[in-house]
Amino acid sequence: MDYKVRTKIARIVVDDKVPVDSEVTILGLVRTARIGKGVAFVEVNDGSCMGNIQGVVTNPDEFPVLEKILTGASVRMKGRLILSQGKGQKYEVAVQSINLIGEADSSYPLQKKRHSLEFLREIAHLRVRTNTFGAVNRIRSKLSYAIHTYFQERGFYYIHTPILSASDCEGAGDLFTVTTLDLLKPPIKEGQVDWNEDFFAQQVYLSVSGQFESEVAALALGDVYNFGPTFRAENSNTARHASEFWMIEPEMAWAELEDDMDLAEDFLKWLFQFALEKCSDEMDFFGKWVDKEARQTLESVVNAEFERITYTEAQEILVKCGEKFEYPVGWGQDMQTEHERYLTEKKFKRPVIVYDYPAEIKSFYMRANDDGKTVRGMDVLVPRVGEIIGGSQREERYDVLLDQAKRHGIPNIENYDWYFDLRKYGSAPHSGFGLGYDRVVMYITGMANIRDVQPFPRVPRWAKF
């Protein structure tokens, strides 16, 4: 069989590029198969789009293979493209031949009915065949292309930062250790594991961020970005946390915090506009079946001018607003989701960028302000979820950075000699931010759980497939 002659369904029902009366070969999975008196209908989806195409088989008695073609089977259907006589579709295929490629019996889990998301997580190897997860995966692909398009068109260079890293960028300590040592009999020296005997002759982790390596590249190439997997061994079983997730991290040399905020706002608006325009079928699906306000949510961000306030101003608003919050407010307190949503949904009714946070609650690498209390960090807050982007202007002064690292209690500072070298040799102002890709897909689609926007989620006590 010559599979190369296939006609993708998207070419027919989305692009409308296949003329009526054309000979077409459809290869895909059967969604439904109905054999009636004198006619049979086989509805097929090939994953190229939301839509299916229906094959109409006249004289089904002449096609005994139809008895074996059940929901979930893969088929090769050849025929002539015609205008549909029924409702709900523009085209169908007058079938001339149909072959069963891969059988699926009545035990196939995805029969034609609604399935809960919890059930579908148990069969992640099959759930992508459903409308919901087909849409999720297509929009992930399209948005990945959009991210590269945005940065490439603006002169940013794509940097491949390492997945194996010797540094803990965030200083959080929630790291996955990578080792080839025998865990039952690790080498011991002075009562501690002797990492010098390990593969890399030191302790190595799965990366929590590519930021530090991107700073290296930015101070040579100017504007760069990385877009890849990151890992956190944080034991959080929430709808927004995953142990493996993708991050978008631009880094700009000769850029201060205002430039960073400008880029973050422009990037979010551009990405959401792309989703509205270029992922229209998927957005229509999510708007109908997942979140009726999906389009409106994105449009409100695209059309808004982001409010910009300092952390101090934000806390003054929260203290005086009269709301009863679960978590305390006041200067020095870290803002929680409930505080962020109050600012975006009730106070300003639009996205908000909060900047100049207390040094004690932010990372050591953020540039210190002259007031001696705050640093040039910023968070982009959007309605419905709160923080969606976190970024900062990096501290470019060697002595100040070293002092901040010590005050934050960063262990093994000597392991960061290379990072401090950037401040010794040709240092320059630079800034960047991080945007969790999986969380932005959640925001765009309206999906409520990060496990449902990742093809194969990795969360505590779950690493199947």
Q: What are 147-161's pLDDT values in tens digits?
A: 999 999 999 999 999
**CB burial string 337-361: b at 16+ within 10 A, e below:** eebbbbbbbebbebbbbbbbbbbee
Query: Nearest to residue 248, comparing CAs of 362, 335, 156?
Result: 156
Q: Tokens 């025998």 correspond to what residue?
A: 182
pLDDT tens for 102-127 read 999 999 999 888 899 999 999 999 99
Are 246 and 436 in contact by the 8 Å Cβ rule? The answer is yes
Does residue 1 surpass a pLDDT of 60? Answer: no
Are 356 and 376 in contact by the 8 Å Cβ rule? The answer is yes
Q: How many CA atoms lie within 13 A of 411 on its CB side?
A: 6
pLDDT score at 113:
84
Angle between helices 211-221 and 417-424 (to 10 degrees): 30
pLDDT score at 171:
58
Q: Cα separation of 74 and 96, whole Å?
A: 17
Both tokens of residue 369? 């302000």
Three-state SS at 42: strand
Q: What angle do CA 310, 312, 316 make, to 5 degrees?
A: 120
pLDDT class of 170 with cuts at 50, 70, 90: low
pLDDT tens for 322-333 read 999 999 999 999
End-to-end CA distance of the chain: 31
Are 365 and 434 in contact by the 8 Å Cβ rule? The answer is no
Q: What is the DSSP string of 95-124?
A: EEEEEEEE---TT-S--SS---HHHHHHTH
Q: Cα separation of 115 and 124, whole Å?
A: 13
Q: Cα separation of 304 and 342, whole Å?
A: 17
pLDDT tens for 42-94 read 999 999 999 999 999 999 999 999 999 999 999 999 999 999 987 888 999 99
Both tokens of residue 45? 């989806």
pLDDT class of 459 with cuts at 50, 70, 90: very high
Rounded percentage of the chain residues whose pLDDT exceeds 70: 98
pLDDT tens for 385-397 read 999 999 999 999 9
Element (H, E) at 260: helix 257-278
